[in-house]
């Protein structure tokens, strides 16, 4: 269904470009925005514009940041001997939330995915290799345990081998709180492979 | 999970105010916007700002429009003798899509809902009564067949009675393509009540 107002149509069109937002949801959002105050709509619009003005990628680790280098790369309490390699900036947030990890990060900006035309040159792999000097003792490869994530981990491990650094991969196994009965076979065999002495 | 960047946090906060958007979806949208070009983000932001600048309510029928009165109220091919009363501007779009209706509209801006504190003065009811003159022959009450919609229809019918105008209500019954077996009893009894000679 189309609206007589071109402005409404354009807002619906722009909103439905967002991931997971179809025309129906975009319509709901537009009708919501037509009802709220002008200040609220402007605050939303400005916050989106600011994303592109203020937020950039850290020139060292490619995490999102407002200052370059980012607070993690410059953090005095962070251990410089360990780098955790992740796919996206959200992964950094998830890992930081655990409060367990005190090293540095390196955000690849995606995973190798030949079907989508994403090769090594499209990820920040060269920049990772450039970071590996004598001060680095361990590199944790924390890409997702998906097909692409595993392939990327394997590729990185091969590339990093000559650097004489400890290369580790995050453990894959049964999630805490989950049930063995419902775990898929691949996860279960990974959990067996990765078993530890108690 | 919280981001180190305040700008990112603010964009997530603003986006999650939209109906049906939680923090997780807002995060996805923000990460999507961080990846696309500045032009695309600005186009989205501008389209939202324009909503408040360009789109207003028609002073006659309260439909959303960019020119006042709206194209339907000023349309030369529209019959001025019949007014269809609906809850929201989206309903106008839905009815227009049928291509069946050639009269005018009146958008109430909601329904009577004492629990939400919405009374007759919060809807464009006075403005509807002011529109009913000798040229109007029929008023179709097309509020939703919900409890509030039915109550509002009943209230309007009572108010409009003294005006000596034909008052009709859209038919409630089995939707086309649906199955009698799965229809609820209220819909089924309405369908029986509203039966027509074939």
User: What percent of chain B is modeled with pLDDT above 70?
Assistant: 98
Rounded to an integer, the average pLDDT of B171-193 is 81
- pLDDT per position as a tens digit, B104-117: 999 999 999 999 99
Q: Choose the closest CB to A1 out of B41, B48, B94.
A: B94
In Å, how far from its chain's centre is CA A195?
27
In 3D, which of A120, A69, A18 has the Cα closest to residue B34? A18
pLDDT band at B4 (very low <50, low <70, confident <90, very high): low
Query: What confidence score (pLDDT) does residue A191 get?
Result: 80
Q: Which residue has the higher pLDDT, A54 or A178?
A: A54
pLDDT band at A10 (very low <50, low <70, confident <90, very high): very high
pLDDT at A48 over 80: yes
Query: What confidence score (pLDDT) does residue B17 get?
Result: 94
- Residues B110, B108: Cα–Cα separation, whole Å: 6
The rounded mean pLDDT for chain A is 90
pLDDT at A128 over 90: yes
Given the DSSP bridges, would you call strands B64-65 and B56-57 parallel, antiparallel or unpaired?
antiparallel
Whether residue B25 lies within 8 A of chain A, CB to CB, comes out as: yes
Q: How far is A63 from chain B (nearest CA, A)?
A: 10
Query: What confidence score (pLDDT) does residue A196 get?
Result: 76
SS3 track for A44-60? HHHHHHHHHHHCEECCC
Rounded to an integer, the average pLDDT of A82-106 is 90
- Residues A119, A113: Cα–Cα separation, whole Å: 7
Secondary structure (DSSP) of B150-190: HHHHHHHHHHHGGG--EEEE---SPPTT--GGGS-HHHHHH
- Residues B135, B42: Cα–Cα separation, whole Å: 48
pLDDT band at A160 (very low <50, low <70, confident <90, very high): very high
Query: What confidence score (pLDDT) does residue B191 get?
Result: 80
Whether residue A35 lies within 8 A of chain B, CB to CB, comes out as: no
End-to-end CA distance of chain A: 62
> In A, residues 45-64, which contact B (CB 8 Å cutoff)?
45-52, 54-55, 64
Query: What confidence score (pLDDT) does residue A21 get?
Result: 93
Q: Which position has the token pair 């609206």?
A: A3
pLDDT at A1 over 60: no
Whether residue A38 lies within 8 A of chain B, CB to CB, comes out as: yes
Secondary structure (DSSP) of B54-66: H-EE-TTT--EES
Query: What confidence score (pLDDT) does residue B2 get?
Result: 58
User: What percent of chain B is modeled with pLDDT above 90?
Assistant: 63
Half-sphere exposure of B156 (CA within 13 A, CB side): 34
Tokens of A95: 């890992």
- Residues B176, B173: Cα–Cα separation, whole Å: 9
Q: Choose the closest CB to A4 out of B3, B50, B65.
A: B65
Q: Which residue has the higher pLDDT, A4 or A191?
A: A191
Q: Which residue has the higher pLDDT, A178 or A123?
A: A123
Judge whether A93 and A101 are in contact, CB under 8 Å: no
CB contact under 8 A, A11 and B72: no
User: The dihedral of CA A149, A153, A154, A155: what is its sign?
Assistant: positive
CB contact under 8 A, A29 and B19: yes
User: The dihedral of CA A18, A23, A24, A27: what is its sign?
Assistant: positive
Residues near B119 by beta carbon (within 8 Å), at least 6 away in sequence: B112
pLDDT at A38 over 90: yes
pLDDT band at B41 (very low <50, low <70, confident <90, very high): very high
- pLDDT per position as a tens digit, B156-168: 999 999 998 999 9
Rounded to an integer, the average pLDDT of B127-136 is 93
pLDDT at B190 over 90: no
Q: Which residues of B touch A50 (CB under 8 A)?
A: 7, 10-11
Rounded to an integer, the average pLDDT of A182-195 is 81
pLDDT at B1 over 60: no
Q: Choose the closest CB to A51 out of B1, B11, B18.
A: B11
Q: Choose the closest CB to A20 out of B2, B28, B89.
A: B28
Q: What share of chain A is helix, strand, coil (3-state, %, to 5)?
A: 50, 10, 40
Q: Choose the closest CB to B33 out of A41, A51, A88.
A: A51
Helix, strand, or coil (residue A105): strand
Query: What confidence score (pLDDT) does residue B174 get?
Result: 81
ipTM of the complex: 0.76
Q: Which residues of B touch A20 (CB under 8 A)?
A: 25, 28
CB contact under 8 A, B49 and A45: yes
pLDDT at A82 over 90: yes
Mutate to test the interface with B, among A5, A31, A32, A74 (most CBs of B within 10 A): A5
Query: What confidence score (pLDDT) does residue B184 get?
Result: 82
pLDDT at A106 over 80: yes
CB contact under 8 A, B4 and A72: yes
């Amino acid at each position: 269904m189309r609206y007589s107002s071109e402005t409404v149509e354009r807002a619906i069109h722009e909103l439905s470009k967002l991931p997971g937002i179809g025309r129906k949801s975009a319509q709901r959002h537009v009708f919501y925005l037509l009802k709220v105050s002008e200040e609220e709509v402007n605050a939303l619009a400005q916050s989106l514009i600011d994303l592109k003005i203020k937020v950039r990628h850290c020139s060292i680790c490619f995490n999102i940041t407002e200052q370059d280098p980012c607070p993690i790369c410059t953090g005095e309490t962070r251990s410089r001997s360990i780098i955790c390699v992740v796919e996206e900036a959200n992964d950094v947030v998830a890992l930081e939330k655990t409060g367990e990890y005190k090293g540095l990060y390196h955000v690849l900006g995606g995973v190798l995915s030949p079907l989508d035309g994403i090769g090594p040159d499209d990820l920040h792999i060269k920049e990772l290799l450039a970071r590996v000097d004598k001060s680095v003792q361990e590199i944790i490869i924390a890409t997702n345990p998906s097909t692409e994530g595993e392939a990327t981990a394997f590729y990185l491990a091969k590339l990093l081998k000559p650097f004489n650094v400890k290369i580790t991969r995050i453990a894959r196994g049964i999630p805490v709180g989950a049930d063995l009965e419902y775990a898929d076979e691949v996860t279960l065999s990974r959990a067996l492979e990765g078993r530890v002495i108690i």
